[in-house]
Amino acid sequence: MANNNIVELKDVFVSFDGEMVLDGLNLQIEDKEFITLLGPSGCGKTTTLRLIAGFLDPDSGTILFEGNDLNGVPAYKRQVNTIFQRYALFPHLNVFENIAFGMRIKKLPENEIKEKVTDLLKLVNLSGFEKRRISTLSGGQQQRIAIARAIANRPKVLLLDEPLAALDLKLRKDMQKELRNMQKQLGITFVFVTHDQEEALTMSDRVVVMDEGKIQQVGTPKDIYNEPKNAFVADFIGESNILDGVMLKDYLVEFSGNKFNCLDKGFNDREAVDVVVRPEDVDIVSLDNGMLKGTVISVDFLGVHYEIIVDIGGFKWMIQTTDEHFVGDNVGLIIEPDAIHIMKKSKYSGLYGDYSSYSEEMDHISENIEEE
């Protein structure tokens, strides 16, 4: 194979009941990578997983596995295995028999099955659990047994559909690390589906951000966070202040009534753009020293930092800082050139990035109640 892609989806369309679910999807998944499909409910990420698994056929388009067309190849003949949110373990079988299930179907010799099950339990840190009943295991342990069973027949691709969603926060974080380590040890491709941004950033080699059946951006976690392609990606991956701006010329942008040096170029002179500034990249200073000036309207203490909302000319900025400030303080903001990221206008422009929407909605509700 000339390229390093193990799975390719080309111009894939899928619709259910006349509603488009995947809209001309093109995606290349590299051999041995940990790739995450990330997006809100209904964006098409689980449908993409089901296409690769063979549980679903596209309306049109091609799915290739190691360069071969998968059209018409049934799920059981694909070198792919799936782990679902509900682990689908057999409650009447013990741990050993759950893991051995697929190997028994393949009629492997008993001594080989025993050896493999022992090795797999070691890999998932559950040595000695062979005779345990499934009902006696915690969620995290069941998760590991499901993984052991899924990799028993050494698939080339493991598909994971929100597999950590049922776990509590601490266990989730532990399992994120374990899954990542397992993937490296096994050297097989993991395709992971989640709507949890932090999970995607923590675990993945590459992240595929999806919305409305389309891929919005593909890149490393760092690229996606630092260089979002549009307002949807910027808002979905972490918190963002997203403002209307005008690119005056290369490296110079105007927003909030001020001109700022930035590191972006290649836009038309005076092109209307979206400007992203992450909350942790803004410094609060004295009123006299600020490039922008505003009033603190809300302060929340989140343990590691304060989350502060500052009203600047009607636009509500979010700022994350370790310095304490108080509601009513008049403050200045400083934004360095490398904290400013410029994006082209898109259909998502104007929908995200101002932290006033919640309070305005509440005002609107109370106004309506008073009118009634």
- Provide the pLDDT for residue 115: 93
The pairing of beta strand 189-194 with beta strand 157-161: parallel
Kindly report the length of the chain.
Answer: 372
pLDDT higher than threshold 60 for residue 291:
yes
- Provide the pLDDT for residue 371: 41
- Provide the pLDDT for residue 200: 93
Q: How many Å apart are CA 337 and CA 246, to the nearest integer?
A: 15
Question: Where is pLDDT greater, at 352 or 203?
Answer: 203
Q: How many Å apart are CA 121 and CA 362, to the nearest integer?
A: 53
Contact present, 319 and 285 (Cβ < 8 Å): no
Structure tokens at 326: 């108080």
What is the phi/psi pair of residue 366, to 5°?
-65, -35
Q: How many Å apart are CA 341 and CA 200, to the nearest integer?
A: 21
Average pLDDT over residues 274-280: 96
Nearest-10 crossing angle of helices 95-105, 139-151: 20
Strand locations in the chain (E): 5-16, 19-30, 34-38, 60-65, 68-69, 80-83, 157-161, 189-194, 206-211, 214-219, 241-249, 252-255, 258-261, 271-277, 282-285, 292-301, 306-312, 315-321, 330-335, 340-344
- Provide the pLDDT for residue 144: 85
Q: How many Å apart are CA 87 and CA 99, to the nearest integer?
A: 12
- Provide the pLDDT for residue 156: 93
pLDDT higher than threshold 50 for residue 365:
no
Average pLDDT over residues 155-169: 87
pTM score above 0.75: yes
- Provide the pLDDT for residue 260: 97
| pLDDT tens readout for residues 46-59 | 999 999 999 999 99
Contact present, 135 and 91 (Cβ < 8 Å): yes
Structure tokens at 18: 């006349």
- Provide the pLDDT for residue 369: 43
Question: pLDDT confidence of 357, banded at 50, 70, 90?
Answer: low
pLDDT higher than threshold 60 for residue 367:
no
Average pLDDT over residues 180-187: 89
Q: How many Å apart are CA 92 and CA 114, to the nearest integer?
A: 19
pLDDT higher than threshold 60 for residue 214:
yes
Question: Where is pLDDT greater, at 114 or 84?
Answer: 114
pLDDT higher than threshold 80 for residue 167:
no
| pLDDT tens readout for residues 118-130 | 999 988 888 989 9
- Provide the pLDDT for residue 283: 95
- Provide the pLDDT for residue 89: 87
Contact present, 39 and 236 (Cβ < 8 Å): yes
Structure tokens at 294: 């505003």
Q: How many Å apart are CA 137 and CA 8, to the nearest integer?
A: 37
Q: How many Å apart are CA 106 and CA 268, to the nearest integer?
A: 62
- Provide the pLDDT for residue 58: 95
In degrees, rounded to 5, the angle at the alpha carbon of residue 258 between the alpha carbons of residues 256 and 264 is: 90
Average pLDDT over residues 103-119: 91
Number of CB atoms found within 10 A of residue 148's CB: 23
- Please name which of 79, 63, 80 lies closest in space to residue 71, comparing C-alpha atoms: 63
pLDDT higher than threshold 70 for residue 360:
no
